[in-house]
Chains A and B, each alone.
Chain A
Amino acid sequence: DVKVTQSSRYLVKRTGEKVFLECVQDMDHENMFWYRQDPGLGLRLIYFSYDVKMKEKGDIPEGYSVSREKKERFSLILESASTNQTSMYLCASSTPVGRGGGYTFGSGTRLTVV
């Protein structure tokens, strides 16, 4: 069964900490994405990547960075966590648009910054 795996289901971090959220996919997908999900706001795109070492800013990149050193792994980094980054973080991967472009989502990481 193909999947996108996020390393932690729940995470509690302190303000100012550097936080790494890891995402691994086993489908050989080119594209990978990080969204955050907040009540009343839906899903908002933080960053995405369409190839190894490539990244593009989404709608809300401020306070975040990403790393994609290998095709299967896409990491989201909170350089200095703040309480307004408390949220559910969802990772997804997809084939290119020309090959259907279907998304597969991970189960999410619920991050609490205290």
Chain B
Amino acid sequence: GDSVTQMEGPVTLSEEAFLTINCTYTATGYPSLFWYVQYPGEGLQLLLKATKADDKGSNKGFEATYRKETTSFHLEKGSVQVSDSAVYFCALRNQAGTALIFGKGTTLSVSS
């Protein structure tokens, strides 16, 4: 079945460092891909999405490009801030599906 694999954390960075969180997927057809963020004590919020190959989603300085050839959707940010500390989830929804399938989440901790 469809699945999402993302790098295990925690990821610990200093402020202004470069961030990459790897995400790869297994799915038939052409799924839509998402990154969600969960701040402490809150529910998940959509960070960015891409619905077709080579699309780049971006928001709040974060970017991810839908790479069908490598079945990947890696999350990047050029300069992280303390306020970016959160859990990040990669997710997919296949063409026939209604529900999102999530990765296990990656905890990011940024220190000043």
Contacts and interface: CB of A to CB of B under 8 A. Distances in A.
Contact of A105 (B41, B43, B95, B103): B43
Interface stretch (A14-22, A65-73, A79-87, A96-104): A96-104
Contacts of A108: 42-43
A41 interface: yes
A74 B92 CA distance: 23
Interface residues on A, range: 20 to 34
Given A42-B105, A43-B89, A107 B98 contact: no
Contacts of A44: 102
Given A40-B104, A42-B89, A42-B104, A106 B99 contact: no
Interface in A38-78: 40-45, 48, 50, 56, 58
B32 interface: yes
Nearest to A105: B43
A105 B45 contact: yes
A102 B46 contact: yes
B42 A41 contact: no
B98 A103 contact: no
A56 to B, nearest CB: 8
Contacts of A94: 98
B103 to A, nearest CB: 6
B43 A48 contact: no
A24 interface: no
A105 B97 CA distance: 18
Nearest to A38: B104
Nearest to B102: A43
22 contacts: A31-B98, A33-B99, A35-B102, A43-B105, A44-B102, A48-B99, A50-B98, A90-B44, A92-B44, A94-B98, A96-B98, A97-B95, A97-B97, A97-B98, A101-B32, A101-B98, A103-B36, A105-B43, A105-B45, A106-B43, A107-B42, A107-B43
